[in-house]
């Protein structure tokens, strides 16, 4: 397996005092380590968590390690648009700047289900919730420029367990085709890539840079719908041999996308840790990497998805 890509020390020692960041899904996995590292470098970090109590406990863990950490915990359920609106209203009532929006939270291979607003769970949580969140915070990001939006996608936007990532705008919610957890995950992660791409185009000249990320195959809670916890712990050494990395390695690509100066030269790009792609020559990853999926380069679909997403989340059509 290729070695994981790691941030150069100057990226991880950048002084972030005076910078504000929001990390979604900060109570677990990659989001937790991202929030901790940003706080360590001096950023004021909002941990956006579905479970507030868990968020508070994780914030205490960060404070134990980084006593100077400037943290706040806010409730955010991406599967409920009223929660997304309440989160944005609350944040904007208390803060007038935002420099880093890390759209990290996600679910994978869930059983068939719907969000509060009737969206299929994975497209609802992974894409539509983050889409609305980004739209509601966009003015503040622009006012705070230079700023970044990092959308955490996956190499599975290319192909997830044999299911090619494609966006079906006529049946985004699997109402007219048989539901498949992996096909739905792949669709939602392709939506993440196209969201960042389209956002970058709209934000041209504003000083706000949007990119998407594959964090690697990372030991987190993400496999909870795929494999019971006991089986994950039994197979852990084998999975590590197969290329699964620890959360610190799995946070490097997000941190690079959020902090490295050269990212500004690649708006809309896709940054990949080591991964599993149909084109194996891409498996070493790249910062940035040209996605091997032809669908990730479909500008017309990116525009259509943007318009469709605006309608679905109740914003006026562009
Ligand atoms: N781990 C990997 O190998 C891997 C590979 C490729 C891409 N990714 C991507 O990396 C991102 C982070 O995942 P992870 O690996 O760190 O997994 P994780 O440990 O399961 O963390 C996922 C986070 O998302 C949150 N979340 C789930 N549903 C939510 C909702 N409705 N509203 C708000 N937050 C919600 C979870 O909160 P709760 O604790 O409340 O559920 C948790 O904090 C995801 O976007 C995932 O697709 C991960």
Query: pLDDT tens string for the chain (318 positions)?
Result: 789 999 999 999 999 999 999 999 999 999 999 999 999 999 999 999 999 999 999 999 999 999 999 999 999 999 999 999 999 999 999 999 999 999 999 999 999 999 999 999 999 999 999 999 999 999 999 999 999 999 999 999 999 999 999 999 999 999 999 999 999 999 999 999 999 999 999 999 999 999 999 999 998 888 877 878 887 787 778 788 888 999 999 999 999 999 999 999 999 999 999 999 999 999 999 999 999 999 999 999 999 999 999 999 999 754
Which residues have C-beta within 8 Å of that of residue 71, sequence separation ≥ 6? 35, 39, 44, 45, 46, 47, 59, 62, 63
Please spell the DSSP secondary structure of 236-304, one letter per residue: HHHHHHTT-B-HHHHHHHHHHHHH-GGGGGSTT-EEE-S---SSGGGTT-BSS---S-GGGG-HHHHHH
pLDDT of residue 28: 96
For the chain, the first-to-last Cα distance in angstroms comes to: 44
- Which one of 91, 156, 185, 277 is the catalytic residue? 185
Q: Which domains does the chain have, with CATH numbers?
A: 9-312 (3.40.50.720)
CA of 152 to the centre of ligand 1 (A): 9
Sign of the CA dihedral running 71, 215, 123, 202: positive
Shortest-distance atom of ligand 1 to CA 27:
43
Q: What spacing in Å lies between the alpha carbon of 310 and ligand 1's midpoint? A: 23
Residue 102: phi, psi to the nearest 5? -105, 100
pLDDT of residue 171: 97
For a mutational test of ligand 1's pocket, the pick from 4, 27, 29, i.e. the residue with the most ligand atoms closer than 8 A to its C-beta, is 29
Residue 247 CA to ligand 1 center (angstroms) comes to 12
CA distance 158 to 103: 19
Predicted pLDDT at 317: 55
Alpha carbons 241 and 135: distance in angstroms, whole number: 41
What is the DSSP code (8-state) at residue 26? T
pLDDT of residue 228: 81
Pairing of strands 270-272, 208-214: parallel
């Amino acid at each position: 397996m290729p070695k994981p890509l790691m941030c150069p020390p100057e990226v991880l020692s950048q002084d972030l005092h005076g910078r504000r960041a929001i990390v979604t899904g900060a109570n677990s996995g990659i989001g937790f380590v991202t929030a901790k590292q940003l706080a360590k470098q001096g950023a004021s970090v909002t941990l956006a968590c579905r479970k507030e109590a868990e968020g508070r406990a994780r914030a205490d863990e960060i404070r134990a390690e980084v006593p100077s950490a400037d943290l706040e915990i806010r409730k955010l359920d991406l599967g409920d648009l009223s929660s997304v609106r309440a989160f944005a209203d609350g944040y904007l009532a208390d803060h007038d700047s935002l420099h880093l929006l890390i759209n990290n939270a996600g679910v994978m291979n869930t059983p068939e289900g719907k969000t509060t607003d009737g969206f299929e769970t994975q497209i609802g949580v992974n894409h539509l919730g983050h889409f609305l969140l980004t739209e509601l915070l966009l003015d503040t990001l622009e006012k705070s420029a230079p700023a970044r939006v990092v959308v955490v996608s996956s190499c599975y936007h290319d192909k997830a367990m044999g299911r090619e990532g494609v966006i079906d705008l006529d049946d985004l919610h699997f109402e007219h085709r048989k539901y498949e957890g992996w096909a739905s995950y792949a669709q939602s992660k392709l939506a993440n890539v196209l969201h960042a791409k389209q956002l970058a185009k709209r934000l041209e000249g504003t000083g706000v840079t949007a990119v998407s990320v594959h964090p690697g195959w990372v030991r987190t809670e993400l496999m909870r719908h795929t494999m019971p916890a006991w089986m994950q712990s039994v197979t852990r050494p084998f999975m590590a041999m197969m290329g699964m990395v620890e959360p610190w390695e799995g946070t490097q690509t997000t941190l690079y996308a959020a902090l490295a100066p050269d990212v500004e030269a690649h708006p809309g790009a896709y940054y990949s840790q080591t991964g599993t792609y149909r084109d194996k020559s891409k498996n070493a990853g790249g910062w940035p990497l040209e996605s091997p999926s032809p669908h990730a380069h479909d500008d017309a679909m990116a525009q259509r998805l943007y318009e469709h997403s605006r309608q679905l989340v109740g914003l006026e059509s562009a």
